[in-house]
Structure 1
Amino acid sequence: MIEVDRVGRSFTVGRRRARKTVHAVQDLSFTVEAGEFVGYLGPNGAGKSTTIKMLTGILAPTSGRIQVAGLDPSRRRTALARKIGVVFGQRTTLWWDLPLKDSFELIRHLYKVDRVLFRRRLDELTGLLDLAGFMNTPVRQLSLGQRMRGDITAALLHSPAVLVLDEPTIGLDVVSKAAMREFLRRLNADHGTTVLLTTHDLGDIERLCRRVMLIDHGRLTFDGTLDDLRATVPEETSIEDVVARLYTGGSASP
């Protein structure tokens, strides 16, 4: 479902004689099969966001090849949008001053979703995410947890095969976070939706992901199961301790 083959992405920063090249992603390769739920971890500045932007077509790679759902993201961005859903925890795709239900209706038109299929999907998501109580509320008046449920719904209304999540539980309270995790688990298990999750909340990773990839300084440093990850630093007892050790100079082999 996702193929990344020796991908690099560089940026030129500064002016005139002070210009320099920054390699945000270097020689990155991995695949994600249909139906997998994969965590993509790394410290700030490691290259996670750059990778996500390339996978969704926002950025084109400087080198290498990417395919998502059989498409080149940067060249087929419009076609790809119909096959993927994207949620950025710190940015909303909803219309700020419109009631939530009106945002969903606009999204239906944008994606040209059949009205009957749209209603069926929205009814399902409304029940699973408990949206009924605030469908008529303007987005600007929603709590963070309510807005995140709205953003997840918006990303899934066109039934994408791939869901890319960037910090989907950021800022949520304990109850909202647990509800969001359970929904994502069921989405993957019941519908076979392929999910790529980036997060700094390792509780999300432990509860949802069967596979974890670590990136640091633009390079993949680990790709395996949670048990494999723990085994890289066997004296540590928690996944938080293991990842913290690896971020600060411990070793791990992909």
Structure 2
Amino acid sequence: MIEVDGAGRSFTVTRRKGLLRREREVVHAVSDLSFQIAAGEFVGYLGPNGAGKSTTIKMLTGILAPSAGRIRVAGLDPSRRRTALARHIGVVFGQRTTLWWDLPLKDSFTLIRHLYKVDQVRHRERLAELSDVLELGPFLDKPVRQLSLGQRMRGDIAAALLHDPPVLILDEPTIGLDVVSKAAVREFLRGVNAERGTTVLLTTHDLGDIERLCRRVMLIDHGRLTFDGTLDALRATVPEETSIEDVVTRLYTRTAEPR
């Protein structure tokens, strides 16, 4: 469902050198990245800040074109077929809403139906299903700006799934949520993956999300993939009593050492 073959993304930045001088430098945000994700997998994508996670997500969704290599999502080149790809993927950015700030939540869902050209009957059925599972009913008539963070996040997840995409890409979907809201979102995502076979790629700094949801974990640091395997294989790299938080911290420290 997702194929990444030798993908890279570089940026040219200008840095100040002295009072009047500027110097240009090429920064490699992602380098020679390769992995495949099969249909129905639930994969965690981890890395410290600045490791290249967000750049990868932007390339997978077509926001950025790779500087090198090849990417396919649902059989499409994301940067060349971005409009067509939108019908096959749902995306949730935990710190940015895709909903209309001043409109009632249900009106945002109606606009999304028109954007994706979803049949009205199918939209009604899907919205009823998502509203029931995510408990959206009590605040469907509220403007998005009046929703709590947990309510808005549930609304964003519903918006990403209204057109029933086979691929769901989540960037920090539980950031800032309280314990109850976080548990509800996790349970819903587990059901979407298990019952509908939706392929899920999850980036998060919350290792509780990884332990409860993901069977496979990928670690990226300095733009390069440093681990790709099962959660059990990740745990096996250190003593048995070590927590998953310590496992990941050690791997980050190891990969951060000068090469």
Shorter-chain TM range is over 0.9
For 2:249 and 2:9, the matched residues in 1 are separated by 26
1:86 aligns with 2:91: yes
Alignment gaps of 5+ in structure 2: 16-20
Pairs within 5 Å for 1:219-230: 219-230=224-235
Percent of residue pairs bearing the same amino acid type: 83
Q: Distance in 1 between matches of 2:108 and 2:14?
A: 40
| Partner in structure 2 of residue 2 of structure 1 | 2
Quote the offset at 1:237 in angstroms: 1.8
Give the structure 2 partner of residue 132 of structure 1.
Answer: 137
In the alignment, residue 42 of structure 1 is paired with which amino acid?
A: G
Tell me how far apart the structure 2 counterparts of residues 150 and 60 of structure 1 sit (CA, whole Å): 29
SS across alignment from 2:56: helix
2:102 to 84, 97, 117: 97
Partner of 1:147: 152
With the length of structure 1 as denominator, give the TM-score of the two structures.
0.97
Alignment correspondent of 1:178: 183
| Cα distance in 2 for residues equivalent to 1:213 and 1:236 | 22
Structure 1 contact 230–236 (Cα < 8 Å) conserved:
no
Show the counterpart of 2:70.
65
**Structure 1 segments of 4 or more deviating over 4 A?**
none
- The yes-or-no answer on 1:30 pairing with 2:38 is no
Assess if the C-alpha contact under 8 Å between 2:92 and 2:169 holds in 1. yes
Offset, 1:17: 4.9
Q: CA deviation at 1:92?
A: 0.1
Partner of 2:120: 115
Q: 1:161 aligns with which of 160, 163, 166?
A: 166
Q: Distance in 2 between matches of 1:113 and 1:234?
A: 51
User: Secondary structure at the residue paired with 1:87?
Assistant: strand
Aligned length: 251
Normalising by structure 2, report the TM-score. Answer: 0.95
**Deviation string, structure 1 residues 14-37 (Cα, Å, up to 9, x no partner):** 068510000000000000000000
1:19 is paired with a residue whose SS is strand
Helix, strand or coil: the match of 1:28?
strand
Decide whether the 8 Å contact of 1:40 with 1:212 is kept in 2.
yes
CA RMSD, aligned part only?
Answer: 1.2
